[in-house]
């Protein structure tokens, strides 16, 4: 089977999976359904990026992608609220915490109506389809190489910053997004030579995602002036964050520090520099 045919079938499957998760979201707009829809959208976006620009520029694709972005954007603050509620839930017996969480849930209820409306609109849009002969093997391979190159460039730029200051929330978040897109791209048409990189990106995504959840929760505690009520929680979160960062730096490879200059280890470079294949 040709890669182009495989891609078309894979793309259609990703669209069907997104539709299914949107239907579930409309029935049960809980934290899991929000997460599943966001993941499905990211996977569709990763697949769309492998299409020729001419195809992506067509009205049907542009309309569909815009609708996906609206759903994703509207779910972002809801997802953050779900994280905070999950982290602070065990401390709801405290009056101040209970009051803050009640307000959060009220905010969530107001936001969800807009998200559900966007989800309904997305489901009504005629889904874009690809034709096998429009997606060449070289285009798929080029897209994969580009994704890995982006992650590698981000790593070279961001990791030294992170290692000098572990509180760089934006840099950690950006690196997580790059890992996520690289992983989803590699999983579209997996080949044996790419499994190691995909697994590495999945591991970094998990670690950085957990760090992101901690940062969001700590920010909420600070903004809500709940520090005095949640000293135990903050202590545990800081400990967990430190452990996650240690795991990440160990997974990312050994870095040599010379006058605040960091150089990626050769073993990491070899992992990220795998040769992409276009074999049928």
| Residue where a domain stops, chosen among 106, 129, 152 | 129
CA nearest neighbour of 229 among 98, 102, 109: 98
> Are 174 and 250 members of one domain?
yes
pLDDT band at 271 (very low <50, low <70, confident <90, very high): very low
> Are 80 and 143 members of one domain?
no
Backbone angles phi, psi at 15, to 5 degrees: -65, -45
> Are 124 and 146 members of one domain?
no
What range defines the domain where residue 223 resides? 137-271
Residue 36 has pLDDT above 70, yes or no: yes
pLDDT band at 262 (very low <50, low <70, confident <90, very high): very low
> Are 107 and 141 members of one domain?
no
> Are 120 and 148 members of one domain?
no
User: Which of 160-169, 223-232, 268-277 holds the top average pLDDT?
Assistant: 223-232
How many domains does one find in the chain?
A: 2
What pLDDT digit, counting tens, does each position of 46-70 carry? 988 888 778 888 888 999 999 999 9
257 sits in which H/E element: strand 256-258
Distance of alpha carbon 189 from the chain centroid: 19
* 3-state SS, residue 90: helix
Q: List, in order, residues 6 or more apart from 38 with CB less than 8 Å away.
A: 72, 75, 79
> Are 234 and 141 members of one domain?
yes
Mean pLDDT over 181-205 rounds to: 83
262 sits in which H/E element: strand 261-263
Residue 223 has pLDDT above 50, yes or no: yes
* Beta-bridge mates of residue 262: 257
pLDDT for position 110 = 94
pLDDT band at 259 (very low <50, low <70, confident <90, very high): very low
Average predicted confidence (pLDDT) for the chain: 82
Tell me, what CATH number does 44's domain have?
Answer: 1.20.120
> Are 141 and 265 members of one domain?
yes
Neighbour tally for 138: CB within 10 Å: 10
> Are 1 and 119 members of one domain?
yes
Structural domain contains residue 278: no
pLDDT for position 137 = 65
The DSSP output letter for 135 is S
Neighbour tally for 69: CB within 10 Å: 14
Structural domain contains residue 40: yes
Structural domain contains residue 112: yes
What pLDDT digit, counting tens, does each position of 70-111 carry? 999 999 999 999 999 999 999 999 999 999 999 999 999 999
* Beta-bridge mates of residue 263: 256
Structural domain contains residue 232: yes
pLDDT for position 267 = 41
CA distances from 105 to 174, 182, 204 (A): 27, 34, 30
> Are 73 and 190 members of one domain?
no
| Residue where a domain stops, chosen among 129, 150, 176 | 129
CA distances from 25 to 72, 137, 149, 181, 230 (A): 13, 35, 35, 23, 32
In the chain, where does DSSP find H-type helix? 3-27, 31-48, 53-56, 59-88, 95-124, 137-164, 169-188, 195-223, 231-252, 266-272
CA nearest neighbour of 55 among 17, 7, 14: 7
> Are 61 and 144 members of one domain?
no
Structure tokens at 247: 């795991």
* 3-state SS, residue 116: helix
Structural domain contains residue 195: yes
* 3-state SS, residue 104: helix
pLDDT band at 265 (very low <50, low <70, confident <90, very high): very low
| Residue where a domain stops, chosen among 129, 158, 183 | 129
Residue 4 has pLDDT above 60, yes or no: no
> Are 94 and 194 members of one domain?
no
pLDDT band at 237 (very low <50, low <70, confident <90, very high): very high
CA nearest neighbour of 217 among 176, 209, 73, 108: 209
> Are 40 and 57 members of one domain?
yes
Higher per-residue confidence, 150 vs 234: 234
What pLDDT digit, counting tens, does each position of 139-159 carry? 767 767 776 677 677 777 777
User: Which of 138-142, 168-172, 213-217 holds the top average pLDDT?
Assistant: 213-217
């Amino acid at each position: 089977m040709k890669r182009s045919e495989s891609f078309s079938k894979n793309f259609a499957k990703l669209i069907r999976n997104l539709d299914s998760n949107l239907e579930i979201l409309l029935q049960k707009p809980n934290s899991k359904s929000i997460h599943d829809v966001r993941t499905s959208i990211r996977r569709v976006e990763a697949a769309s990026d492998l299409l020729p620009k001419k195809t992506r520029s067509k009205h049907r694709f542009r309309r569909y992608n815009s609708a996906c972005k609206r759903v994703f954007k509207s779910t972002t603050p809801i997802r953050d609220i779900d994280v905070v509620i999950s982290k602070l839930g065990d401390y709801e017996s405290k009056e101040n915490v209970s009051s803050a969480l009640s307000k959060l849930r009220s905010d969530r209820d107001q936001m969800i109506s807009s998200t559900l409306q966007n989800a309904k609109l997305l489901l009504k849009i005629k889904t874009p389809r690809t034709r096998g002969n429009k997606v060449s093997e070289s285009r798929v391979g080029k897209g994969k190489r580009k994704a890995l190159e982006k992650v590698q460039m981000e790593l070279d730029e961001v990791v030294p910053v992170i290692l000098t200051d572990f509180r760089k929330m934006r840099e950690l978040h950006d690196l997580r997004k790059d890992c996520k897109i690289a992983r989803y791209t590699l999983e579209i048409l997996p080949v044996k030579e790419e499994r190691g990189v995909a697994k590495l990106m999945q591991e970094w995504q998990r670690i950085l995602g957990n760090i992101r959840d901690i940062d969001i929760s700590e920010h909420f505690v600070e903004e809500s002036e709940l520090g005095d009520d949640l000293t135990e929680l903050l202590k545990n979160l800081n400990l967990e964050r430190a452990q996650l960062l240690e795991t990440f730096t160990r997974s990312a490879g050994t870095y040599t520090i010379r006058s605040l200059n960091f150089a990626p280890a050769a073993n990491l470079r070899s992992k990220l520099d795998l040769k992409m294949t276009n074999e049928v």
